[in-house]
Amino acid sequence: MGTTATLSGNIDIPAGIAATLVNPAAYADHRIHDSYRWLRANNPLGIARPEKFDPFWVVTKHAHIQAVSRQNELFHNADRPTTLTNQAVEERVRKITGGPNLVRSLVQMDAPDHPKYRALTQGWFMPANLGKFEARVSEIARATVQRMLDKSGACDFVEDVALGYPLHVIMEILGVPEKDEPRMLKLTQELFGPQDPDTARIREQLTAEQFSVMMQSVVADFGAYFRGITEDRRRNPRDDLATVIANAKIGGDYMPDHDATSYYMIVATAGHDTTSSSTAGAVWALAEDPAQFEKVKANPELIPGLVDEAIRWMTPVKHFMRSATADTELGGRKIAKGDWLMLCYASGNRDEDVFDEPYKFRCDRKPNRHVAFGYGAHLCLGQYLAKLEMRILFEELLPRLKSIALDGEVRMTQAYFVNGPKKLPIRFEVN
């Protein structure tokens, strides 16, 4: 890690907090928020040196996250792993791919590739185009809500609603047949939850080599599936996103296979998993706070605010990594060329300097300048779709409910990259 290793010790964050940042279980039981709070107050831009990982800067303040995110030339995505990776796994991935990342989606790209690849599908995800899906999304939402209400007053909201609904929406838009949705869900959970005992492909403790092979096999399964989709859409183009990706040209040629697989993967996984978490987060918050439930139920115009607050509250993508391309300064600290930085979005979204009562869920929060979708050139492509889906679901669900409450222990996934509720037992009364 550049010259920073020689700087005085007070720049380092305590070993216990550094260990929390790389502990998947700490993201499931909320200990991570205690660490974030301490860091914002005491060392908002310090260096973590957890065992088995390269040192990295921990960026916990909203303003610093935005500053890094808007300077894409200075802070790259692709030069080092884009998500937190230990030394042994990174070494193994470099042997497999020749680079630091197993996939090469928009998230792992910098200019000039990133804007070219993003432009291929950006129009699809803009509000003007999404309007044509609204009626169909409403149908899917109504059917989902009815299935929940048929459960006789109790359900696991994650399993019965939050997982399937956004999955079905994005797969229709992408063009994946409904029969293949369970396969896509399983692969997504294996990709984003490799540290969680309930979702990992292999459940026992793995060496770096075994872990890398496991993740490579998940990527290979995605690749094999979407190769078939690509071949079909080149022969039989349709009005779906898969046709756009399959037939997209970069510099006059089709996308390389690995890039195409990565593109499908980011749409097919991020396109529902994060929305599932935020949707469940909203219901969790309303079940715990009857006053918020009554407030939004009595004022349906608060639903868009409920959606934004749920996204801030849950912040499903906990971090992305960046690396400095030159010596620079941030928050009074000298960052060296090659240094690795962890952008802690969930910390930025609890920043006391930006959010009044950051630890309270408020569906009428205004303004709500959260960074859950990132910021700058890498701002989440699917943000408008996520908000549309969530808004429509709550417009369908809330008028039908008289009350909602927790009905057992809520459990979160154990993962330090993307996490959210995996069990949300609720009981409810229907109007």
**pLDDT tens string for the chain (431 positions)?**
543 443 445 799 999 999 999 999 999 999 999 999 999 999 999 999 999 999 999 999 999 999 999 999 999 999 999 999 999 989 989 988 999 999 999 999 999 999 999 999 999 999 999 999 999 999 999 999 999 999 999 999 999 999 999 999 999 999 999 999 999 989 888 888 778 888 777 766 788 888 888 889 989 999 999 999 999 999 999 999 999 999 999 999 999 999 999 999 999 888 888 999 999 999 999 999 999 999 999 999 999 999 999 999 999 999 999 999 999 999 999 999 999 999 999 999 999 999 999 999 999 999 999 999 999 999 999 999 999 999 999 999 999 999 999 999 999 999 999 999 999 999 999 99
Dist. CA 395–CA 142, nearest whole Å: 10
Specify the residue for token string 């009074």.
332
Longest dimension (CA), the chain: 65
pTM score: 0.95
Tokens, residue 96? 């497999």
Specify the residue for token string 């993307």.
418
Q: What is the CA radius of gyration of the chain?
A: 21
Q: Give me the helix-helix angle, 208-235 and 257-288, nearest 10°.
A: 110
Dist. CA 71–CA 110, nearest whole Å: 11
Measured over the CA atoms of residue 289, residue 291, residue 297 and residue 303, the dihedral's sign is: negative
User: Exposure string (b/e) for 134-169, b if CB count within 10 Å is 16 or more?
Assistant: eeebeebbbebbeebbeeeeebbbbebbbbbbbbbb
